[in-house]
Structure 1
């Protein structure tokens, strides 16, 4: 069913913290959790999905117009974000919405669904993972090195290398924002092809420095119990959460299907918006007897 909230922006108190959401579109309800952590929902606006679904974009706690934890910037673990999302599901009283999470947000919606599987009609894990342990950061660093080699002697290579090397020194919102803006080219399959989109994203990006716990995310031993229909999505050229992570999620989940976007990195909804929307709408259509995407007539 659609969100009980009308179109536009709303703030409600959830788990004693102001929770901001923006509602757009009509149709089946899909609650969207952005990544980071520390990024508000603005970059995830998806007009092609709003034409068919009621999209509820939430600003995660600590970001955008939502409130902050009393210990800010500490305490923003996946568990705490999942607590907030589960409480939001109860507060909104939406019957079995879809949950769409991007990047770190995919960890959050997956954890929330593991806790409340009967409350969710379907799960959309976009650039997510079942685990970030082992050599996660080492593998990402190797792909950064590859990006710099392929784009050597360009401003993109210089900004990406400097930003990656500066990650350990981040201690403020301003430093976090500057670092992510510098890294952005590496998140795209082809920065030159997506130059306008990348520039617009860089202009609007404002990040909040948040600190969670130090434990790697790992839910592999719990996924076999999650029978919620799931769509796993990844960009072929995503340097940090690419196809290998999508494969592992799909292998561990009992009712999962996978879509890879061949000309995308971390932001398939921006690099291939039509293909991204079709994948989501076809998934919704296949899990709802009373709904069909336009692609199915």
Structure 2
């Protein structure tokens, strides 16, 4: 049974609008979220798990949507999951609790990377609950198969940038953390260093991005109690009736281009936006193109959207 507890509104700036901070409690576990903007609700679920969501703040769509920036359980200001159950179904349950807390009959769901896994699980488990899916640099499978594909893409990235120390280091960190698993990650700081080690590979051109918008940063909460998860909904994609926008960077190594094309063939009504000058963070590298794709999708699929 869901309990709901609202914290007082907090006027925390998020782009051009103020955000109201709220809390939903499911089975005694708090999940914090912040609402900013006007229009239909759109939960925004970041990657990870454990990565704090501020990197995915999207102020531009707030002119047309009520962006619901979730701190997924196990990250940000939300609680850890005490039993370590980080299944996609569990995350999807929390996402539905947020929509229920907002008294939202429907809404969009924007999921990035791991957040896209959650969005797909939500759509599979709760048909008809959403207005549409925005599946951003994600896949319909998670586990060994995806990691092997990402390892191949990482090797290709290092080969493209052999003169850049950051690229070589990214390949070394990936090998130690994912392939050989010889890197010890026991706390938040070690996890953060690992993420920042591979971060150059998350961009089509990290040097250009740093020159244009500054040094990218990520925060993460390390949960030693988190259980390993294997997940695959490829055989259920055809059951999704909601329209889907699949956004992918051509140079995304974590969820490669092939994953986007595979995901896009499932839902009956889907469209693909390939950002050809981006990696895993197209909302930073090609912000205008990313926003245009999202808003065009909303305007052509939604009802009563502000223009």
Match of 2:121 in 1: 111
Is the 1:14–1:88 Cα contact (8 Å) retained in structure 2?
A: no
Is the 2:74–2:81 Cα contact (8 Å) retained in structure 1?
A: yes
- 1:27 correspondence with 2:39: yes
Range with greater deviation from structure 2 (249-258 or 181-190): 249-258
Deviations 1:183-234 (A, max 9, x none): 11100011121114675322xx111224654453210121211101111111
Find the aligned partners of 2:111 and 2:149 in 1 and give their Cα distance.
22
* 2:279 equivalent among 265, 281, 288: 265
Query: Higher helix fraction: Structure 1 or Structure 2?
Result: 1
Alignment of 1:40-55 (within 5 A): 40-55=52-67
Give how far 1:269 is off: 0.6
> TM-score, normalized by length of structure 2?
0.86
Q: Cα 1:22–1:200, aligned 2, differ >3 Å: closer, same or farther?
A: farther
Is the 2:39–2:66 Cα contact (8 Å) retained in structure 1?
A: yes
Match of 2:247 in 1: 233
Is the 1:234–1:246 Cα contact (8 Å) retained in structure 2?
A: yes
Find the aligned partners of 2:147 and 2:82 in 1 and give their Cα distance.
30
Q: Cα 1:142–1:44, aligned 2, differ >3 Å: closer, same or farther?
A: same
* 1:209 equivalent among 219, 222, 225: 222
Match of 2:267 in 1: 253
Alignment of 1:129-148 (within 5 A): 129-132=139-142, 135-148=145-158
For structure 1, the residue ranges without an aligned partner over 5 or more in a row are none
Match of 2:12 in 1: none
SS in 1 for 2:231: coil
Q: Cα 1:153–1:43, aligned 2, differ >3 Å: closer, same or farther?
A: same
* 2:69 equivalent among 57, 71, 89: 57
- 1:161 correspondence with 2:171: yes
Could you list the structure 1 runs, at least 4 aligned residues long, displaced by more than 3 angstroms after superposition: 4-7, 132-135, 196-200, 210-215
Is the 2:134–2:247 Cα contact (8 Å) retained in structure 1?
A: yes
Query: Higher strand fraction: Structure 1 or Structure 2?
Result: 2
Match of 1:171 in 2: 186
Q: Kindly report the root-mean-square deviation, in angstroms, between the aligned alpha carbons of the 2 structures.
A: 2.1
Give how far 1:79 is off: 2.2
Is the 1:122–1:229 Cα contact (8 Å) retained in structure 2?
A: yes
For structure 2, the residue ranges without an aligned partner over 5 or more in a row are 1-5, 10-18
SS in 2 for 1:10: strand
* 2:206 equivalent among 176, 183, 191: 191
